[in-house]
Amino acid sequence: MAHHFVRLTPRDPLIARDGRPFGASSGNRMRSLPWFYPSLFSGSLRSLLGKATGGFSTETVAALKALEIAGPLALLNNTLFFPRPLDARVFESGAERHCYGLRPGALGAGEGVDLPGPNLLPTLLPDGANMDGKPAEIAQFWSSARMADWLTRSSASGFTAPPDNTPSSADTGYLAAPPVDFRTHTALSDEKGVADDGKLFITAGLDLNLPNTADIVQLVSRVGNSGWCQQVLEGLAQVHPMGGDRRLANWQHTDDQHLWECPQGVASALARATKIRLYLATPGLFDGGWLPGWLDKTTFTGCPPGIDGGLKLTLRAVCSERWQPLSGWSLERNSWGPKAARRMVPAGSVYFFTCEQGDAAQLVPRWLSSVCDKAQDRNDGFGLALWGTWDEHKN
């Protein structure tokens, strides 16, 4: 399968609505997601390619859905940025900030937990962690170098604390969440041609321009195909809308393969590792909710998709947050209408495994590949995985 690489440069703040009602009879204030879901990007790109290849016949729709679209990921000055890992904790007291990693911790005598598996462990802070002050917010996006460093440090302390979630220079290796751009509009009266009384509404878009600079965050993706629409992808340089309100962006084919390769430091760490971390760079969709369907529901043991076998991982702990809703609207002729709501594992979630059989180096080629259960979810870019290592706490 050939891989192509696409960059999106927004012309306007892009709208990524959440699922709450918005319309003339259901609410006049739009609400934005904090970042773009993979299905929003992949759907827009498939629409662009469908128009460029002559329409949406049944055969074309099937070919579009078979494209393996990974992303979108944030890119600034040719550096990839990933959502902050949820196994990172920062405590702030005055001007001091201390950063620690959550790790599975063995229970002491007389201690117990009600986790949904006999071999699962709680994730704990290390002994001696300075927890003076409150847990602090941290920058929402980490550069690929920062993420590689985080994923290859097996210990849970000794980190330089990332800054808070305020606009900061990408030179630090961190980015704040994009600000939301609110715009107030009014409907026009068809009869009078003036603003209609009481028809105000507010839109909300993610502004990817960095404050006080000329820099702008781009979105990048990797597109895998088997030859269909190859010429269109290779010649892609087009303005096309993405998201709500048909806000415009420039789509362009690039040569970004190096961005999607596993860093050498991570590959070396995995080659000798028996304790493996799985980090989700995009939200995950699994048959078992938070639990990947490729894990046995009793033993929590299995092999990630895309690996030919010989590798056997056992789940020991999970760092995640509350599930996120996913909904949408299907434009296919046979399924036109609202899609069923689903629950996603948030991006940044971390799964801790022990390697029971095989070589963890098999995971290196699966860097930024999907670990979702369903093929269409993998094709849509959900569940892109980075891999790392960990050590157990000795509390």
From CA 223, how far away is CA 239, in angstroms rounded? 18
From CA 63, how far away is CA 39, in angstroms rounded? 16
Which residues have CB under 8 Å from 11's CB, separation 6+? Answer: 239, 247, 248, 249, 250
From CA 278, how far away is CA 153, in angstroms rounded? 14
Which residues have CB under 8 Å from 266's CB, separation 6+? Answer: 148, 151, 152, 364, 367, 386, 387, 388
Token pair listed for 308? 């030919």
From CA 9, how far away is CA 297, in angstroms rounded? 42
CB 325 within 8 Å of CB 342: yes
Q: What's the average pLDDT block by block, 10 residues per block, for the chain (395 residues)?
A: 93 90 81 94 95 90 94 94 95 86 88 86 87 86 95 82 76 89 89 84 92 89 88 93 92 94 95 94 96 94 88 95 91 87 96 94 95 96 96 67
Q: Helices 58-66 and 38-52, interaxial angle, to 10°?
A: 140
Q: What is the pLDDT of residue 88?
A: 94
Parallel, antiparallel or unpaired: strands 384-389 and 2-10: unpaired
The angle at the Cα of 266, spanning 260 to 272, to the nearest 5 degrees, equals 140
Both ends of the chain: CA-CA distance in Å?
Answer: 47
Which residues have CB under 8 Å from 276's CB, separation 6+? Answer: 270, 313, 352, 353, 354, 355, 360, 363, 387, 388, 389, 390
Q: What is the pLDDT of residue 163?
A: 86
Q: What is the DSSP string of 305-336?
A: TT--S--EEEEEEEE--S-EEE--EE-SGGG-
Q: What is the pLDDT of residue 170?
A: 65
Q: What is the pLDDT of residue 126?
A: 86
Output phi, psi for 356, to 5 deg. -90, -25
Query: pTM of the predicted model, to two decimals?
Result: 0.93
